[in-house]
Amino acid sequence: MKFTIGLAALAVGMMIAASPAGAADKKVLGVSIPAATHGWAGGLNWHAQQAKIELEKKYPDLTIALVTAGDATRQANDLEDLVQVRKIDALVILPFESAPLTEPVRQVKNAGKWVTIVDRGLTDPSIQDLYVAGNNPQMGTNSADFMVKKLGGKGNIVILRGIPTVIDNQRFDAFMDVVKKTDIKVLDSKYANWNRDDGFKVMQDFLARFPKIDAVWAQDDDITLGVIEAVKQAGRDKDMWILGGAGMKEMIKRVMDKDTLVPADVLYPPKMIADAMELTAKHLMEGAKLEKQYIIDATLVTPDNAKQYYYPDSSF
Amino acid sequence: MPEPSHAAHRASSARRRADLKAFGPFIALAALIVLGAVVNPVFLTPGNLINVLTRTAFTGIIAIGGTFIITTGGIDLSVGSLAAFASGIMIIVMNALTPQGLPPFLVVLLGTLAVMALSVFSGLVNGLLITRGRIEPFIVTLGTMGIFRSLVTYAANGGTLSLNTQIRGYYRPVYYGDILGITYPILVFAVVAAIGAIVLYRTRFGRYVTATGANEEVARYSAIHVDRIKLAAYGLQGLCVGLAVFLYVPRLGSASATTGLGWELEAIAAVIIGGTLMKGGSARIWGTVAGAIILALIDNILNLTGAISVYLNSAIQGCIIIIAVLVQRDAKSRP
């Protein structure tokens, strides 16, 4: 079934590509994002496709050219194609990496196009007309605040970190700033690479090593899934709880269902791409005035508000 | 008393060298176990050891197949991606069969058969491209590595394929279950290694595999169907990947673009640490088993200590791998 959906999307894409561009009042919005190589990026792709369908329905004169790239070099090539072949009027881009894409995006800007940057800022922020991003330090702080409150300011925790990157450091440092002022003891922290299998492996070893763990900060929902399995296998699911992050549908569902193992989740929503596309389209089609930047809050999801962040059809 | 003849002396020292070389990976393994016990007493608890060995089973089983391929002088880079793709297909097949009202045993059986067929077929495709297509194994399997990785991403719509919870409950014990405390993946790993050793050391096919890797031209002149032997080795590798997937899927019940990432390098490293020659012609199945366990133990020991900065994990891994191989090379070159 998934294959037919994919083929249908491809066919739709080709029809749009074949339609004549360049009519006077028609506008083209180019969207360039990384390919769906892991869970979060998969969610990103899904939300981008949803936004494309909705916005093209809302603005009949708007065409959205959505391209995905497997690495930074290909993404730079995509930008040339979007400007030269698809004749875009504005660009929404979630850069693979900040540094290598700064110059290619500057060239799009120099060609007179509107530029919206999502999530990963360029090394020269003066290029962007609009910046839409999640808030990594706030994600760390909100996670820490929740843990401190739920643990009553004391207890033993372990931390599973992501992939060694700026994003991971920002989350971790902000988290530690809060926690070190309390009596909570961080037993240890190890990288689990935002990956289920690594989450499982690292947690198994933490469980073997520490007889008393009160809570786990996994900071990512893929890692959390691995951690849950390890905790269940050890039969210690009554002794501890886990705080993940991102907003994966399975985790939001668990929070909604008041699962004691997963009492909350902290958002780092892949939906930010849809918000960026909507804002840019609004500017392009209605001339709406926009702020220079929109920072999306790392909202704490609890059973009270989980429903509004649950997207059962998303792949993430 | 007569002096021992020169030739006899040379033969006995050669045998001693061979012995030392064969023991190399086991010496490294023993040293690592001592290190683990020193780092944290928890290391030697049965619970921890069972966890680690169970985790080793996937790459270990794949590395048994890899031993055959490397012995023929080939290489297979596609095994990690194939494992991910096969896991995805297995989940799709079982999810599709579950609502048909079939008994869970039949659903798992059909899913397993589908995985085995797919894996062996994929292995044979690699083999045919290499033997009939006359393309270097490195290039063929680099290509299929990308293809399989991409196909699982496509099948999962970029997200994660998750196994139906009802079937998962039934299938879960295949990873977590045990006989007298030894989990099934460990038992399967042991059986696969034993069969691999028998086939490689005690059958004509095994001797042909070694002969092919030792000198392909000579093997061909000796009326060995070199292409057929290679093809069979790649098929065998596919079978091993299928088995690994059968054990892997019940663990987390999911497959995504990151499943099996880097397994090919782990499997190849296990084979080489075990003493099999990269250029082919010499196989050490039990060495491969030790190599796979060594790799898993390094991860485990690093997780059991807070003394080393996590930023240095890969550096420690690299050092231990190189030392483990040095132990053997040293033993081999000693006069």
CATH of the domain at A99: 3.40.50.2300
pLDDT in tens, A128-148: 888 988 888 899 999 999 999
Instruction: Please give the average per-residue pLDDT across A154-158, as a whole number.
Output: 94
Task: For residue A92, list its beta bridge partners.
Answer: A31, A116
By C-alpha distance, the chain B residue nearest A35 is B158
The identity of residue A25, as a single letter, is D
Residue of B70, B68, B28 lying closest to B329 (CA atoms): B28
Which mean pLDDT values do the consecutive 10-residue runs of chain B (335 residues) have? 50 55 83 92 91 94 96 95 96 91 91 96 96 94 94 83 87 91 95 96 94 92 92 96 95 87 92 90 93 92 83 83 75 47
CA of A58 vs chain B CAs: smallest distance (Å): 26
Q: What is the pLDDT of residue A19?
A: 43
Do residues B202 and B195 lie in contact, with contact meaning Cβ atoms separated by under 8 Å? Answer: no
C-alpha B316: how far from its chain's center?
A: 22
Q: What is the pLDDT of residue A284?
A: 85
B314 and A CB contact within 8 Å: no
Of all residues in chain A, the percent with pLDDT exceeding 90 is 31
Name the average pLDDT for chain B.
Answer: 88
Task: For residue A91, list its beta bridge partners.
Answer: A30, A115
Q: Are residues A213 and A225 in the same domain?
A: yes
Given an 8 Å threshold on Cβ–Cβ distance, is A46 in contact with B157? yes
- For β-strands A154-161 and A183-191, DSSP reports them as parallel
- Is the pLDDT confidence value at A242 over 80? yes
Name the average pLDDT for chain A.
Answer: 84
The residues spanned by each domain of chain B are 57-283
Residue of A270, A272, A275 lying closest to A290 (CA atoms): A275
Instruction: Please give the average per-residue pLDDT across A168-194, as a whole number.
Output: 92
Chain A contact set for B304 (CB, 8 A): 205, 208-209
Residue A109's domain spans which residues? 2-133+270-295
Do residues B115 and B137 lie in contact, with contact meaning Cβ atoms separated by under 8 Å? Answer: no
Q: Are residues A153 and A177 in the same domain?
A: yes
CA of A2 vs chain B CAs: smallest distance (Å): 6
B296 and A CB contact within 8 Å: no
Confirm whether A14 is domain-assigned.
Answer: yes
Do residues B90 and B161 lie in contact, with contact meaning Cβ atoms separated by under 8 Å? Answer: no
List the structure tokens of B111. 């899913």
Of A36, A250, A314, Cβ closest to residue B257? A36
Residue of A156, A214, A196, A247 lying closest to B251 (CA atoms): A196
Q: Are residues A50 and A68 in the same domain?
A: yes
Q: What is the pLDDT of residue A1?
A: 40
Q: Are residues A39 and A143 in the same domain?
A: no
What is d(CA B213, CA B68) in angstroms, rounded to the nearest whole number? Answer: 10
Q: Are residues A28 and A76 in the same domain?
A: yes
ipTM surpasses 0.85: no
Q: Are residues A101 and A146 in the same domain?
A: no
What is d(CA B91, CA B77) in angstroms, rounded to the nearest whole number? Answer: 23
What is d(CA A226, CA A195) in angstroms, rounded to the nearest whole number? Answer: 8
Q: How far apart are the first and last CA of chain B?
A: 25
Chain A contact set for B261 (CB, 8 A): 195
Q: Are residues A277 and A255 in the same domain?
A: no
* Full DSSP string of B162-216: E--HHHHHHHTHHHH-EETTEEHHHHHHHHHHHHHHHHHHHSHHHHHHHHHHH-H
Given an 8 Å threshold on Cβ–Cβ distance, is B252 in contact with A226? yes
Going through A193-274 in order, the beta strands assigned E by DSSP cover 215-217, 241-243, 265-266
The identity of residue A1, as a single letter, is M
Confirm whether A312 is domain-assigned.
Answer: no
Q: Are residues A125 and A248 in the same domain?
A: no
What is d(CA A295, CA A116) in angstroms, rounded to the nearest whole number? Answer: 13
Instruction: Please give the average per-residue pLDDT across A182-193, as a whole number.
Output: 92
Tally of structural domains, chain A: 2
Q: What is the pLDDT of residue A313?
A: 73
Distances from the Cα of A281 to the Cα of A104, A202, A267, B96, angstroms: 22, 44, 24, 40
Q: Are residues A171 and A286 in the same domain?
A: no
Confirm whether A307 is domain-assigned.
Answer: no
Residue of A282, A22, A235 lying closest to A132 (CA atoms): A282
pLDDT in tens, A80-126: 888 888 888 889 999 887 778 888 888 888 888 889 988 887 878 88
Chain B contact set for A41 (CB, 8 A): 158
Chain A contact set for B259 (CB, 8 A): 197
Chain B contact set for A161 (CB, 8 A): 310
The identity of residue A187, as a single letter, is L
Distances from the Cα of A63 to the Cα of A30, A56, A57, A193, angstroms: 8, 6, 10, 37
